[in-house]
Copies of this chain bind each other. A is one copy, B any other.
Amino acid sequence: MVDILHRIGVTASPDDVYAALTTVDGLAGWWTEDTTGDGQVGGVLRFRFVPGGFDMRVRELVPAKLVRWEVADGPEEWIGTTVEFELSQEDGFTIVMFRHEGWREPVAFMSHCSTKWATFLMSLKRLVETGKGEPAPHDVQISNWH
């Protein structure tokens, strides 16, 4: 098993970051505008992009602390993996520890997703700090795989 790991710090409150990770409006503001579904525990959030998308079952929520999803549908490599955002406070920043865990193999698509997650986390940072993120379809193109 191999994991994608990232860490960012944002000058917004844990409550604001948590809202951006648990509400359809928040998620549509930094990951993909085409976000629908239910962000409560047991609910399924549907994220769609031009080439396809992901269905995430919300597995765990601790307000202002933790959001954990399990991938219910999407690319074969993603099925069964988990995506976690752990929030804490340090030096006046809200720290987001991001983990996309449980990849079976370090395939090229995983490397792509690692870079892509970093750019989307920077979009989350911009959303909570400035009110405007860069969700798909306005996301940064990083390669031929978009």
A contacts, CB < 8 Å to B: 2-10, 90-93, 95, 97-98, 106, 108, 110-112, 114-115, 118-119, 121-122, 125, 140, 142-145
In the complex formed, the residue of B with least CB distance to A97 is B111
Pick the residue among B95, B114, B144 that contacts A114 (CB under 8 A). Answer: B114
How many copies of this chain does the complex contain? 2
Q: Is the pair B95, A7 in contact by a Cβ cutoff of 8 Å?
A: no
Q: Is the pair B145, A115 in contact by a Cβ cutoff of 8 Å?
A: no
Q: Which residues of B contact A142 (CB under 8 A)?
A: 7-9, 122, 125
- What DSSP secondary structure best describes chain A's contact surface? mixed
Q: Which residues of B contact A93 (CB under 8 A)?
A: 143-144
Pick the residue among B2, B91, B106, B144 that contacts A92 (CB under 8 A). Answer: B144
Bound Cα distance from A125 to B144, whole angstroms: 13
Q: Known contacts being A118-B118, A118-B119, A119-B122, is A112 close to B143, with CB within 8 Å?
A: no
Q: Which residues of B contact A144 (CB under 8 A)?
A: 9, 90-93, 95
Residue among A91, A115, A142, A144 having the largest count of chain B Cβ atoms under 10 Å: A115
Q: Is the pair A3, B106 in contact by a Cβ cutoff of 8 Å?
A: yes
Pick the residue among B4, B95, B143 that contacts A95 (CB under 8 A). Answer: B143
Q: Which residues of B contact A115 (CB under 8 A)?
A: 6-8, 118, 121-122
Bound Cα distance from A112 to B9, whole angstroms: 10
Bound Cα distance from A6 to B115, whole angstroms: 5
